[in-house]
A = this chain, B = another copy of it.
Amino acid sequence: MKPVPVPERFAEFEDRLPRAIEWRDGDLWLLDQTRLPAEAPMEHQETAADVFEAIRQLKVRGAPAIGVAAAYGLCVALKPFRDSGIDVFRQHIDEQAAFLDSARPTAVNLGWALRRMQAFAVRSQAGSGAELYDALTAEAQAIHAEDQALCRGMGAAGAELIRPGMGVLTHCNAGALATSGMGTATAPMYVAHARGVPFRVYADETRPLLQGARITAWELDMAGIDVTVITDNMAAHMMATGEIDLVITGTDRVAANGDVANKIGTLGVAIIAKHFGVPFYVACPSSTIDLACATGAEIPIEERGAEEVTQFGARQTAPQGVKARNPAFDVTPHDLVAGLITEKGIVRAPYAENLASLFGGTL
Protein backbone atom coordinates (compact mmCIF):
# COMPACT_ATOMS: atom_id res chain seq x y z
CA MET A 1 0.00 0.00 0.00
CA LYS A 2 1.57 3.30 -1.12
CA PRO A 3 1.27 6.48 0.93
CA VAL A 4 -1.43 8.72 -0.53
CA PRO A 5 -0.03 12.10 -1.62
CA VAL A 6 -1.28 15.13 0.31
CA PRO A 7 -2.46 17.98 -1.92
CA GLU A 8 -0.09 20.92 -2.20
CA ARG A 9 -2.77 23.44 -1.30
CA PHE A 10 -3.23 21.72 2.02
CA ALA A 11 -0.21 23.02 3.95
CA GLU A 12 -1.49 26.56 3.81
CA PHE A 13 -4.96 25.52 4.99
CA GLU A 14 -3.52 23.37 7.80
CA ASP A 15 -1.69 26.39 9.20
CA ARG A 16 -5.01 28.10 9.78
CA LEU A 17 -6.65 25.28 11.78
CA PRO A 18 -7.32 25.72 15.50
CA ARG A 19 -4.48 24.20 17.53
CA ALA A 20 -4.48 22.37 20.86
CA ILE A 21 -0.68 22.76 21.21
CA GLU A 22 1.83 25.36 20.11
CA TRP A 23 5.60 25.46 20.63
CA ARG A 24 6.78 29.02 20.04
CA ASP A 25 10.36 30.19 20.61
CA GLY A 26 11.00 27.54 23.24
CA ASP A 27 7.70 28.08 25.07
CA LEU A 28 4.73 25.69 25.30
CA TRP A 29 1.18 27.00 24.88
CA LEU A 30 -1.92 24.83 25.37
CA LEU A 31 -5.53 25.64 24.49
CA ASP A 32 -7.73 25.27 27.60
CA GLN A 33 -10.41 23.09 25.98
CA THR A 34 -12.50 22.95 29.16
CA ARG A 35 -13.53 26.55 28.45
CA LEU A 36 -14.81 25.85 24.91
CA PRO A 37 -17.00 26.98 23.32
CA ALA A 38 -17.49 30.16 25.36
CA GLU A 39 -13.75 30.99 25.39
CA ALA A 40 -10.65 29.56 23.72
CA PRO A 41 -7.68 30.76 25.78
CA MET A 42 -4.13 29.69 24.82
CA GLU A 43 -2.31 29.29 28.13
CA HIS A 44 1.46 29.62 28.55
CA GLN A 45 2.86 26.59 30.40
CA GLU A 46 5.58 28.03 32.61
CA THR A 47 6.29 25.06 34.87
CA ALA A 48 5.98 21.28 35.02
CA ALA A 49 3.13 21.80 37.47
CA ASP A 50 1.25 23.84 34.84
CA VAL A 51 1.55 21.01 32.29
CA PHE A 52 0.62 18.40 34.93
CA GLU A 53 -2.57 20.33 35.76
CA ALA A 54 -3.43 20.94 32.11
CA ILE A 55 -3.30 17.17 31.45
CA ARG A 56 -5.03 16.24 34.69
CA GLN A 57 -7.86 18.75 34.24
CA LEU A 58 -8.39 17.72 30.58
CA LYS A 59 -7.44 21.20 29.30
CA VAL A 60 -5.52 19.12 26.74
CA ARG A 61 -7.21 15.83 25.81
CA GLY A 62 -7.16 13.20 23.08
CA ALA A 63 -4.47 10.52 23.08
CA PRO A 64 -2.19 12.02 20.36
CA ALA A 65 -2.41 15.54 21.80
CA ILE A 66 -1.59 14.32 25.31
CA GLY A 67 1.51 12.55 24.01
CA VAL A 68 2.82 15.64 22.24
CA ALA A 69 1.98 17.89 25.20
CA ALA A 70 3.84 15.53 27.55
CA ALA A 71 6.97 15.49 25.36
CA TYR A 72 7.07 19.29 25.31
CA GLY A 73 6.05 19.30 28.98
CA LEU A 74 9.23 17.42 29.86
CA CYS A 75 11.22 20.17 28.14
CA VAL A 76 9.35 22.79 30.18
CA ALA A 77 10.14 20.80 33.33
CA LEU A 78 13.85 20.57 32.49
CA LYS A 79 14.38 24.14 31.32
CA PRO A 80 15.31 25.42 34.85
CA PHE A 81 18.21 22.90 34.89
CA ARG A 82 19.48 23.88 31.43
CA ASP A 83 22.53 25.69 32.81
CA SER A 84 23.32 23.07 35.43
CA GLY A 85 26.01 20.54 34.66
CA ILE A 86 25.06 17.53 32.52
CA ASP A 87 24.98 15.20 35.54
CA VAL A 88 22.58 17.41 37.49
CA PHE A 89 20.44 17.88 34.36
CA ARG A 90 20.26 14.11 33.80
CA GLN A 91 19.29 13.53 37.44
CA HIS A 92 16.05 15.46 36.92
CA ILE A 93 14.84 13.71 33.74
CA ASP A 94 13.31 10.57 35.26
CA GLU A 95 11.89 12.45 38.25
CA GLN A 96 10.13 15.02 36.06
CA ALA A 97 8.92 12.35 33.62
CA ALA A 98 7.44 10.31 36.49
CA PHE A 99 5.67 13.43 37.78
CA LEU A 100 4.10 14.23 34.40
CA ASP A 101 3.22 10.57 33.81
CA SER A 102 1.15 10.55 37.02
CA ALA A 103 -1.25 13.24 35.68
CA ARG A 104 -3.47 10.64 33.95
CA PRO A 105 -2.43 7.11 34.81
CA THR A 106 -4.49 5.42 32.06
CA ALA A 107 -3.49 7.65 29.13
CA VAL A 108 -1.36 5.34 26.99
CA ASN A 109 0.22 8.06 24.84
CA LEU A 110 1.31 10.01 27.91
CA GLY A 111 3.62 7.24 29.11
CA TRP A 112 4.65 6.35 25.57
CA ALA A 113 5.87 9.87 24.73
CA LEU A 114 7.68 10.30 28.06
CA ARG A 115 9.45 6.93 27.74
CA ARG A 116 10.55 7.86 24.23
CA MET A 117 12.00 11.13 25.54
CA GLN A 118 13.76 9.32 28.42
CA ALA A 119 15.23 6.70 26.07
CA PHE A 120 16.39 9.45 23.73
CA ALA A 121 18.19 11.16 26.63
CA VAL A 122 19.86 7.89 27.65
CA ARG A 123 21.20 7.43 24.11
CA SER A 124 22.28 11.06 23.79
CA GLN A 125 26.02 11.89 23.86
CA ALA A 126 25.31 15.52 24.84
CA GLY A 127 28.10 17.09 26.89
CA SER A 128 26.12 19.80 28.71
CA GLY A 129 22.67 20.44 30.13
CA ALA A 130 22.03 23.05 27.45
CA GLU A 131 23.03 20.65 24.68
CA LEU A 132 20.81 17.85 26.01
CA TYR A 133 17.93 20.29 26.57
CA ASP A 134 18.20 21.43 22.93
CA ALA A 135 18.32 17.82 21.72
CA LEU A 136 15.23 16.94 23.79
CA THR A 137 13.25 19.87 22.42
CA ALA A 138 14.18 18.72 18.92
CA GLU A 139 12.93 15.21 19.81
CA ALA A 140 9.64 16.65 21.12
CA GLN A 141 9.31 18.58 17.86
CA ALA A 142 9.93 15.32 15.98
CA ILE A 143 7.10 13.63 17.95
CA HIS A 144 4.91 16.63 17.09
CA ALA A 145 5.82 16.48 13.39
CA GLU A 146 5.20 12.71 13.26
CA ASP A 147 1.73 13.17 14.76
CA GLN A 148 0.93 15.87 12.23
CA ALA A 149 2.13 13.63 9.40
CA LEU A 150 -0.09 10.76 10.60
CA CYS A 151 -3.09 13.11 10.55
CA ARG A 152 -2.21 14.26 7.02
CA GLY A 153 -1.96 10.65 5.93
CA MET A 154 -5.43 9.82 7.28
CA GLY A 155 -6.77 12.98 5.70
CA ALA A 156 -5.38 12.14 2.29
CA ALA A 157 -6.58 8.52 2.51
CA GLY A 158 -10.12 9.39 3.64
CA ALA A 159 -10.83 12.56 1.69
CA GLU A 160 -11.84 10.56 -1.39
CA LEU A 161 -14.87 9.26 0.56
CA ILE A 162 -16.36 12.76 0.83
CA ARG A 163 -18.10 13.67 -2.41
CA PRO A 164 -19.72 17.00 -3.31
CA GLY A 165 -23.04 17.62 -1.55
CA MET A 166 -22.66 14.89 1.05
CA GLY A 167 -23.80 15.09 4.66
CA VAL A 168 -21.15 13.57 6.95
CA LEU A 169 -21.93 12.56 10.55
CA THR A 170 -19.28 12.40 13.26
CA HIS A 171 -19.50 11.50 16.94
CA CYS A 172 -17.51 12.94 19.86
CA ASN A 173 -14.27 14.80 19.02
CA ALA A 174 -11.62 12.97 17.05
CA GLY A 175 -10.58 16.31 15.68
CA ALA A 176 -7.64 18.63 15.32
CA LEU A 177 -7.96 19.43 19.02
CA ALA A 178 -7.51 15.76 20.00
CA THR A 179 -4.20 15.68 18.11
CA SER A 180 -1.42 18.11 17.34
CA GLY A 181 -2.40 18.10 13.68
CA MET A 182 -5.66 17.99 11.76
CA GLY A 183 -7.26 15.20 13.73
CA THR A 184 -8.25 11.65 12.87
CA ALA A 185 -11.97 11.56 11.95
CA THR A 186 -11.82 15.22 10.93
CA ALA A 187 -8.67 14.89 8.79
CA PRO A 188 -10.56 13.68 5.67
CA MET A 189 -13.00 16.56 6.19
CA TYR A 190 -10.24 19.16 6.38
CA VAL A 191 -8.49 17.77 3.29
CA ALA A 192 -11.76 17.64 1.31
CA HIS A 193 -12.54 21.20 2.41
CA ALA A 194 -9.05 22.40 1.42
CA ARG A 195 -9.65 20.82 -2.01
CA GLY A 196 -12.83 22.87 -2.35
CA VAL A 197 -15.32 19.97 -2.05
CA PRO A 198 -18.66 21.32 -0.74
CA PHE A 199 -20.20 19.15 2.02
CA ARG A 200 -21.98 19.46 5.38
CA VAL A 201 -21.01 17.94 8.71
CA TYR A 202 -23.44 16.89 11.45
CA ALA A 203 -21.81 16.78 14.89
CA ASP A 204 -23.50 14.53 17.47
CA GLU A 205 -23.42 16.54 20.70
CA THR A 206 -22.14 13.38 22.49
CA ARG A 207 -23.63 13.15 25.95
CA PRO A 208 -22.69 13.11 28.70
CA LEU A 209 -19.65 15.37 28.24
CA LEU A 210 -20.73 17.06 24.99
CA GLN A 211 -17.38 16.92 23.20
CA GLY A 212 -19.23 17.03 19.87
CA ALA A 213 -21.19 20.20 20.63
CA ARG A 214 -18.42 21.93 22.55
CA ILE A 215 -15.28 20.94 20.65
CA THR A 216 -16.00 19.39 17.23
CA ALA A 217 -18.55 22.03 16.27
CA TRP A 218 -16.15 24.75 17.40
CA GLU A 219 -13.10 23.56 15.46
CA LEU A 220 -15.03 22.78 12.25
CA ASP A 221 -16.77 26.15 12.44
CA MET A 222 -13.42 27.91 13.02
CA ALA A 223 -12.07 26.15 9.93
CA GLY A 224 -14.99 27.34 7.82
CA ILE A 225 -16.69 23.95 7.40
CA ASP A 226 -20.52 23.89 7.32
CA VAL A 227 -21.37 22.21 10.64
CA THR A 228 -24.71 21.51 12.36
CA VAL A 229 -25.06 20.22 15.92
CA ILE A 230 -27.64 17.51 16.62
CA THR A 231 -28.50 15.59 19.79
CA ASP A 232 -27.29 11.98 19.72
CA ASN A 233 -30.83 10.67 19.33
CA MET A 234 -31.45 12.58 16.06
CA ALA A 235 -29.04 10.60 13.85
CA ALA A 236 -31.64 7.99 12.85
CA HIS A 237 -34.14 10.65 11.77
CA MET A 238 -31.47 12.50 9.77
CA MET A 239 -30.53 9.27 7.99
CA ALA A 240 -34.20 8.42 7.37
CA THR A 241 -34.67 11.81 5.70
CA GLY A 242 -31.56 11.30 3.55
CA GLU A 243 -29.49 14.08 5.08
CA ILE A 244 -26.55 11.87 6.12
CA ASP A 245 -24.55 9.98 3.47
CA LEU A 246 -21.41 9.00 5.36
CA VAL A 247 -20.23 8.50 8.95
CA ILE A 248 -16.62 8.97 10.12
CA THR A 249 -15.67 8.55 13.78
CA GLY A 250 -12.42 8.09 15.66
CA THR A 251 -11.48 5.18 17.92
CA ASP A 252 -9.58 4.51 21.12
CA ARG A 253 -8.52 0.99 20.16
CA VAL A 254 -9.06 -1.41 17.24
CA ALA A 255 -8.82 -5.17 17.88
CA ALA A 256 -7.06 -7.58 15.51
CA ASN A 257 -10.41 -8.66 14.05
CA GLY A 258 -11.42 -5.06 13.28
CA ASP A 259 -13.75 -4.51 16.27
CA VAL A 260 -13.64 -0.84 17.28
CA ALA A 261 -13.81 0.68 20.78
CA ASN A 262 -14.88 4.31 20.81
CA LYS A 263 -16.90 6.88 22.76
CA ILE A 264 -20.28 5.67 24.05
CA GLY A 265 -22.89 6.02 21.32
CA THR A 266 -20.67 4.95 18.44
CA LEU A 267 -22.21 1.45 18.35
CA GLY A 268 -25.72 2.87 18.02
CA VAL A 269 -24.62 5.15 15.18
CA ALA A 270 -23.02 2.18 13.38
CA ILE A 271 -26.16 0.01 13.73
CA ILE A 272 -28.42 2.81 12.50
CA ALA A 273 -26.04 3.56 9.60
CA LYS A 274 -26.13 -0.09 8.55
CA HIS A 275 -29.95 -0.06 8.68
CA PHE A 276 -30.02 2.85 6.24
CA GLY A 277 -27.14 1.65 4.05
CA VAL A 278 -24.94 4.60 5.09
CA PRO A 279 -21.24 3.65 5.13
CA PHE A 280 -19.63 3.82 8.59
CA TYR A 281 -15.87 4.53 8.61
CA VAL A 282 -13.40 4.79 11.49
CA ALA A 283 -10.22 6.89 11.28
CA CYS A 284 -7.14 6.06 13.32
CA PRO A 285 -3.36 6.00 13.04
CA SER A 286 -2.15 2.42 12.62
CA SER A 287 -0.67 2.65 16.15
CA THR A 288 -4.24 2.44 17.47
CA ILE A 289 -4.63 -1.06 16.00
CA ASP A 290 -3.78 -3.56 18.73
CA LEU A 291 -2.99 -6.93 17.15
CA ALA A 292 -2.45 -8.34 20.66
CA CYS A 293 -6.15 -7.79 21.32
CA ALA A 294 -8.02 -10.55 19.45
CA THR A 295 -11.56 -9.13 19.57
CA GLY A 296 -13.54 -6.25 21.04
CA ALA A 297 -14.72 -8.53 23.85
CA GLU A 298 -11.24 -8.20 25.39
CA ILE A 299 -11.44 -4.40 25.61
CA PRO A 300 -12.44 -3.25 29.11
CA ILE A 301 -15.17 -0.59 29.19
CA GLU A 302 -14.51 2.20 31.70
CA GLU A 303 -17.58 3.07 33.81
CA ARG A 304 -17.41 6.69 34.91
CA GLY A 305 -19.26 8.50 37.71
CA ALA A 306 -23.06 8.59 37.58
CA GLU A 307 -23.09 12.33 38.28
CA GLU A 308 -21.97 13.04 34.70
CA VAL A 309 -25.36 11.62 33.62
CA THR A 310 -27.57 12.88 36.46
CA GLN A 311 -26.18 16.42 36.48
CA PHE A 312 -25.51 18.99 33.84
CA GLY A 313 -22.84 21.32 35.10
CA ALA A 314 -24.12 22.29 38.53
CA ARG A 315 -27.75 21.46 37.70
CA GLN A 316 -29.39 18.21 38.81
CA THR A 317 -31.31 16.74 35.85
CA ALA A 318 -32.35 13.37 37.30
CA PRO A 319 -33.92 12.91 40.74
CA GLN A 320 -31.50 12.96 43.67
CA GLY A 321 -30.44 9.41 44.51
CA VAL A 322 -31.77 7.77 41.33
CA LYS A 323 -29.33 5.32 39.76
CA ALA A 324 -27.55 6.08 36.49
CA ARG A 325 -25.14 4.13 34.30
CA ASN A 326 -22.16 5.77 32.60
CA PRO A 327 -20.14 3.44 30.38
CA ALA A 328 -17.67 5.78 28.65
CA PHE A 329 -17.08 3.56 25.60
CA ASP A 330 -18.75 0.88 23.54
CA VAL A 331 -17.49 -1.69 21.05
CA THR A 332 -18.65 -1.70 17.43
CA PRO A 333 -18.29 -5.13 15.78
CA HIS A 334 -16.18 -5.18 12.62
CA ASP A 335 -19.09 -6.27 10.41
CA LEU A 336 -20.60 -2.79 10.86
CA VAL A 337 -17.38 -1.05 9.79
CA ALA A 338 -17.03 -0.15 6.08
CA GLY A 339 -13.35 0.63 6.50
CA LEU A 340 -10.55 1.86 8.75
CA ILE A 341 -8.98 5.09 7.50
CA THR A 342 -5.27 4.89 8.46
CA GLU A 343 -2.22 6.89 7.44
CA LYS A 344 -1.30 3.91 5.26
CA GLY A 345 -4.62 3.92 3.41
CA ILE A 346 -8.13 2.52 3.96
CA VAL A 347 -8.25 -1.03 5.34
CA ARG A 348 -11.41 -3.03 4.59
CA ALA A 349 -12.79 -6.49 5.42
CA PRO A 350 -11.64 -9.16 5.88
CA TYR A 351 -10.01 -7.30 8.77
CA ALA A 352 -8.12 -10.14 10.43
CA GLU A 353 -6.14 -10.77 7.24
CA ASN A 354 -5.85 -7.17 6.07
CA LEU A 355 -4.81 -5.74 9.45
CA ALA A 356 -2.15 -8.43 9.81
CA SER A 357 -0.90 -7.59 6.30
CA LEU A 358 -0.86 -3.87 7.13
CA PHE A 359 1.73 -4.51 9.81
CA GLY A 360 3.53 -7.14 7.76
CA GLY A 361 3.87 -4.50 5.06
CA THR A 362 2.49 -6.85 2.42
CA LEU A 363 -0.91 -5.24 1.97
- A interface, CB within 8 angstroms of B: 36-38, 202, 204-208, 210, 213-214, 217-218, 221, 226-238, 240, 264-265, 267-268, 271-272, 274-275, 301, 309-310, 312-313, 315-325, 327, 330-331
Determine how close the nearest CB of chain B comes to the CB of A225; give it in whole angstroms. Answer: 11
17 extra A-B contacts, CB within 8 A, seeds A233-B268, A236-B271 = A37-B316, A206-B233, A207-B207, A213-B309, A213-B310, A213-B317, A213-B318, A217-B319, A221-B322, A228-B324, A229-B318, A231-B232, A232-B265, A237-B330, A240-B330, A271-B272, A312-B313
A-B pairs with beta carbons under 8 Å apart, 14 shown = A205-B318, A208-B231, A217-B318, A228-B323, A229-B309, A229-B324, A234-B264, A234-B265, A234-B325, A237-B264, A237-B330, A238-B325, A274-B275, A312-B313
How many copies of this chain does the complex contain?
Answer: 2
Tell me the nearest residue of chain B to A230, going by C-beta. B325
Interfacial chain B residues near A232, Cβ < 8 Å:
207, 231-233, 265
Q: How far is B202's CA from A230's CA once the two chains are assembled, in angstroms?
A: 23
Determine how close the nearest CB of chain B comes to the CB of A318; give it in whole angstroms. Answer: 4
Determine how close the nearest CB of chain B comes to the CB of A337; give it in whole angstroms. Answer: 15
Tell me the nearest residue of chain B to A171, going by C-beta. B233
Tell me the nearest residue of chain B to A226, going by C-beta. B323
Give the 9 A-B CB pairs with smallest separation, nearest first. A233-B265, A236-B268, A37-B319, A232-B233, A207-B231, A237-B330, A213-B318, A236-B267, A229-B324
Q: How far is B204's CA from A228's CA once the two chains are assembled, in angstroms?
A: 23
Tell me the nearest residue of chain B to A323, going by C-beta. B228
Q: How far is B298's CA from A289's CA once the two chains are assembled, in angstroms?
A: 46
Interfacial chain B residues near A237, Cβ < 8 Å:
264, 267-268, 301, 327, 330
Q: How far is B200's CA from A322's CA once the two chains are assembled, in angstroms?
A: 13
Interfacial chain B residues near A275, Cβ < 8 Å:
271, 274-275
Interfacial chain B residues near A240, Cβ < 8 Å:
267, 330-331
Q: Is the CB of A323 within 8 A of B265?
A: no
Q: Is the CB of A229 within 8 A of B322?
A: yes
Q: How far is B232's CA from A206's CA once the two chains are assembled, in angstroms?
A: 10
Q: How far is B271's CA from A233's CA once the two chains are assembled, in angstroms?
A: 12
Determine how close the nearest CB of chain B comes to the CB of A167; give it in whole angstroms. Answer: 11
Q: Is the CB of A230 within 8 A of B324?
A: yes
Tell me the nearest residue of chain B to A208, going by C-beta. B231
Q: How far is B301's CA from A234's CA once the two chains are assembled, in angstroms?
A: 12
Interfacial chain B residues near A235, Cβ < 8 Å:
268
